[in-house]
Structure 1
């Protein structure tokens, strides 16, 4: 996490508890990181989220802030809003760090209806309208992205390459049913759909049709925690799926 705060304070805040002083034991307390006054940058970032309709992710918003127009942006008229190009003092990677730290600190929320879309919350408004100051970490932690391969397909195709056969009506119908279940669970738990399972995980469920609940563990993106939390709901759908009957129900 890129937060400059005490790790213990951040964790307790997440669970609704307070801890005013640093713990003195975590890495941030033992070796305080360099910070910079990010109040103006935070106001620009949050204002950009608001003026673009609270439905876009960091990449789109960074392009708006740095004045880098795209065809989509021009079509939506976001190249003419007040926040277009107001953030040229920072590099794109710095703006990405700003958005990550705002999200980690609770000054931004993810929209469960839009993948990776940001929306404002009560904490955001304290920065925009009440002048709350914000400190950002100067040395953001690099984020490494890893491409996972399922145990079933290890040595063959990566999970990102798994596709649904558009000519197989039963598989397409099952894929849509799994997505609907994921959306329902995301609303139930107030998290973005991809936090439940990524698309690649659902595609592998369609392809493998696991016969037992714990067979889901052979699918990329399914660990013990997610199996316990969501596994039974998805397995029940898969187990009860019979091509002709379910396809007919969806027509």
Structure 2
């Protein structure tokens, strides 16, 4: 049975499924996973708490009734005492079974409480991560706003300076010691702008490609260079 099927059960059927799986050695793992699913966990805790209250009430009532029965038996003399002692074993056996069930319910309630705390921590962590991401996006937007003013060289108004100062005033906890770190430090170390501002195309300079003149061919050693035609002298026979 999965979590959705379990959620469709009436309270009485849900309780039967729950109480038959409270003992870890005998529980069905899939059914217990459905019981501890975040959608069913609050209901399981509520129903099991009612079961615990009922068994506690039963134990108290039986103890009171047993004491009243003892008084009545002892008032009848030896015959009454024999009757009381004759029923003692059955009463103790029933009391132990009920007490054991009561303790198992108590342990299961503790286990469900731990599961609920795990769910709460996970939800709180997810919410905290989402809040931190929202704060990062806001800090990046403020940083980009300041960068645009710096790039364009325009005069900033007082409201702009007040906005930018929040990057140095607001902090977030970081590291194992949860030390407060300013948003500006977070931006420079931990948070990266996924879409940084592009440089002004007018400020860019394209690299010039200069073709180097080819180096003169090195002369081979031992081989005389050819003379130019106008350098030759006429030879006479």
Q: TM-score higher than 0.5 here?
A: no
- Normalised by the size of structure 2, how large is the TM-score? 0.21
Of Structure 1 and Structure 2, which has the larger fraction of its residues in helix?
2
Q: Which has the higher contact order (CA 8 A, sep 6+)?
A: 1
